[in-house]
Structure 1
Amino acid sequence: MKLSSQIKPISYLKSHTAEIVKTITESREPMVITQNGEAKLVVMDVKSFEQQEETMALLKILALGNREIDEGQFRDAQDVFDKLDQADQP
C-alpha cells in the first residue's frame, strides 16, 4: 500500500466525499488528507480500522506476555497441566 498515491487536500475531501467513501470502501486503502500542505488526517474504512485495532490488541497482549517472561512471572507449562490433571481427579 502506497500512501503517496492516496494523498488529497481537504478541499478534495469536501467536494468529493461520496466518491471517496466508495473508493476507500472498495479498495480498503486509507487516504491521507492534507491541510495547508501538512498531513492532518487518515481516512479509512471501518473494516480496516477494526482489523487494525484487533492487530494492535494482539500485539499488546504479546508485549505484556514478553514482559512477564522477562520479569520471571511465568510457570512451566507442564506444571500447569499437572495441576489441572490433579484437579480433575476425584
Structure 2
Amino acid sequence: MYLSQDIKPISYLKSNTAHVVNSVTETRRAIYITQNGEAKVVVQDIKSFENTQNMLTLLKLIVQSENEMNDTKIIEQEGMFLSLEAKLFHETI
C-alpha cells in the first residue's frame, strides 16, 4: 500500500476522474478519497471489488462451518449417504 500516492482529496477526484479510473483499473490499487481532511470513500476497480466480495463470502462459509462443528451439528459421512439413499429410494417409488 502506497498511502502517500493513494490518498487524494475530493477536489483531485473531481478534476481528474478519468485519470483516477484509468489508474485504479491499470494498477488494481485502490485510491482513498478525503473530504475536509477525513477519509470518506475508496475507489476500487471492479475485479478487485468482486474478489474481495468472494473472499468475504468464503470466510463467512468457513466461520459458519466452524460454528456448526463446535455446536456438533455435523453428520458422519456414512450416515449422510444412508440418508440420501433413503430419500432417493423413496422418491423413485
Corresponding residue for residue 40 of structure 1: 40
Any idea what the Cα deviations from partners look like across 1:1-20, whole Å, max 9, x if unmatched? x1513000000000000001
Corresponding residue for residue 56 of structure 1: 56
Runs of 4 or more above 2 Å deviation: 77-89
TM-score, normalised to structure 1's length?
Answer: 0.85
Check if 1:67 corresponds to 2:67. yes
Shift of 1:81: 3.9
* Whole-angstrom distance in 1 between the partners of 2:74 and 2:2: 41
Secondary structure of the 1:39 match is strand
Secondary structure of the 1:75 match is coil
| CA-atom RMSD in angstroms | 1.9
Secondary structure of the 1:26 match is helix
TM-score, normalised to structure 2's length?
Answer: 0.83
After TM superposition, the structure 1 stretch with the greater mean CA deviation from structure 2, 74-83 or 53-62, is 74-83
Corresponding residue for residue 7 of structure 2: 7
